[in-house]
Amino acid sequence: MTFKEKVCKLLEASLDSRPDLFLIECKVSIDNHISILLDGDEGVNLKSCVEISRQIEHNLDREIHDFSLEVASAGVGSPLQKTRQFLKNMGRKLRVEREAMPTLEGMLIDSNEHGFTLQWKQREPKPIGKGKITVTKSKTLSFNEIISAKVLVK
């Protein structure tokens, strides 16, 4: 078993004991720097990061492997990467960047394993007469057609 496989197995066991947390990313570099990025249904606190870090670190032998370990939570400005993150952020405003298309900003109103739906209000000319009216628009996007989606915090 390679060092990376051992780390992944330990991480999986640690997360099994914490169903409220989920893995965003796990990287093990050539020089054995372990970088783990977590998120949680109710967020991730420092105590949770320390707990996962200790469960991994205490099961790796420093006499055999020289390594460094970093366990962090996905920050507010981090792009959403997993379906579970979209579900967690229902009702929040997102900025979505798309390839060769205008950026969209709107309220996340629906999400499933294939994509998500944004809703926003915009001003448009009245169909008859002068002036503008406010209309509600929505767009359903698949995950593979976006470059990034970030929660807007204002």
Residues 7 and 67 in one domain: yes
Q: Is the pLDDT of residue 69 over 90?
A: yes
Residues 132 and 90 in one domain: yes
Banded pLDDT at 72 (limits 50, 70, 90): very high
Instruction: Give tens-digit pLDDT for 85-98.
Output: 999 999 999 999 99
Q: Which of 23, 51, 73 is the last residue of a domain?
A: 73
CA atoms within 13 A on the CB side of 108: 22
pTM value is 0.83
Q: Which of 45, 73, 101 is the last residue of a domain?
A: 73
Q: Which of 73, 107, 132 is the last residue of a domain?
A: 73
Judge contact between 104 and 139, C-beta under 8 A: yes
Rounded percentage of the chain residues whose pLDDT exceeds 90: 84
Residues 31 and 61 in one domain: yes
Name every residue whose Cβ is closer than 8 Å to that of residue 77 and which is 6 or more positions away in sequence. Answer: 150, 153
Q: In which element (H, E) is residue 101 found?
A: strand 101-111
Which structural domain, as residue segments, surrounds residue 127?
Answer: 83-151
Residue 68 lies in a domain: yes
User: Residue 20 and residue 154: Cα distance in Å, rounded?
Assistant: 26
Helix runs in 17-111, H state only: 46-57, 83-88
Residue 139 lies in a domain: yes
Q: Is the pLDDT of residue 20 over 90?
A: yes
The CB-based long-range contact list for 32-37 (8 Å cut-off, 24+ gap) reads: 32/3, 32/65, 32/66, 32/67, 32/68, 33/67, 33/68, 33/70, 34/7, 34/67, 34/68, 34/69, 34/70, 35/70, 35/72, 36/11, 36/69, 36/70, 36/71, 36/72, 37/72, 37/73, 37/74, 37/78
Q: What is the largest distance, in Å, between two alpha-carbon atoms of the chain?
A: 79
Residues 13 and 47 in one domain: yes
Residues 95 and 57 in one domain: no
Residues 143 and 93 in one domain: yes
